[in-house]
Amino acid sequence: MGEVTVRLDRAAKKYGDVYALRDVTADYHAGEFVALVGRSGCGKSTMLNLCGAMDFPSEGLVSIAGAITSSLDDAGLTRLRRTQVGFVFQFFQLLPTLTAVENVEMPALLAGFPDARAKALQLLDWVELSGLGARFPHQLSGGQMQRVAIARALINSPKVILADEPIGNLDSTTGALVLSLLKRTAKERGTTILMATHSAESAEYCDRVVRLRDGRIEV
Ligand SMILES: Nc1ncnc2c1ncn2[C@@H]1O[C@H](COP(=O)(O)OP(=O)(O)OP(=O)(O)O)[C@@H](O)[C@H]1O
Ligand SMILES: [Mg+2]
């Protein structure tokens, strides 16, 4: 197995008196495609938020690429989120006023990395959208928008991609295409992919299924 990219060590998240996540200990490795399943409210998005340093555990520790999220200052957190983590969402969240290639290159520009445009074009090729870089999001299909979002998530070569219901808004054929692209990302680029999903079929396609129930991992 590849190196550990995300580690949760007795991590819990409380909102007021209520635990959204409790006592979660887990390691996720380079190249692993992991499905996070469980019914609505079980804590999937909460766990992804902790694994992306978008939120912090109330108890325990989360580390990403070796850095303990709750010990970083603002600059360290911004850098970690920009360079080690990519996000893919159910509703794509592309910037509507930017073209596809501009959406893809944005995280590289924000991180101050060189050759953003060339990398963005290469990634659009890789997600099989070469030639569509000049289109605006509203000129693309849902599946095409999601592939742009995956290219955007990859541009800074993050160790981890967090995908929250990435196929929830796609038909089954397009969803299958996006899933196979995520799997290729894990296998060819060594990225850890954590994907929350309600689809049993797509979970089966992953290397590992993690089932949450009332904020705990079921064994
Ligand atoms: N910011 C918040 N403030 C208070 N409670 C929250 C907050 N975010 C989530 N929760 C609660 O934490 C629990 C877990 O929510 P979470 O969004 O992680 O579930 P989920 O598994 O992603 O559900 P879904 O499948 O519907 O997306 C829920 O009971 C939810 O109401
Ligand atoms: Mg959710």
Q: Tokens for 50, please give them.
A: 């902790």
Distance CA 145, CA 91 (A): 9
- Ligand 2 centroid from CA 20, angstroms: 11
| Helices and strands: H and E segment counts in the chain | 7, 10
- Ligand 2 centroid from CA 123, angstroms: 28
Q: Look at residues 189, 114, 113, 196 and name the one whose alpha carbon lies nearest to residue 151.
A: 189
Ligand 1: residues whose CB is within 6 Å? 15, 20, 38, 40-46
Please tell me the residue having the least CA distance from ligand 1 atom 1.
15
- Ligand 1 centroid from CA 178, angstroms: 25
Contact 93, 130 (CB under 8 A): no
pTM: 0.95
Ligand 1 binding pocket mutation candidate from 17, 44, 49 (most atoms within 8 A of CB): 44
Contact 49, 64 (CB under 8 A): no
CATH fold of 4-93+157-217 reads Rossmann fold (3.40.50)
Confidence of residue 219 (pLDDT cuts 50, 70, 90): confident
Mean predicted lDDT score pLDDT of the chain: 96
Could you read off the pLDDT of 29-84 as tens digits, one per residue?
999 999 999 999 999 999 999 999 999 999 999 999 999 999 999 999 999 999 99
Could you read off the pLDDT of 94-106 as tens digits, one per residue?
999 999 999 999 9
pLDDT at 112: 95
User: Based on C-alpha coordinates, what's the Rg of the chain?
Assistant: 17
Ligand 1, closest atom to CA 13? 12
Ligand 1 binding pocket mutation candidate from 8, 13, 15, 167 (most atoms within 8 A of CB): 15
pLDDT at 26: 97
Distance CA 98, CA 139 (A): 12
Distance CA 165, CA 155 (A): 21
**Domain limits, the chain:** 4-93+157-217
Confidence of residue 1 (pLDDT cuts 50, 70, 90): confident
Mean pLDDT, to the nearest integer, of 121-128?
96
| Ligand nearest to the backbone CA of 44 | 1
Contact 49, 62 (CB under 8 A): no
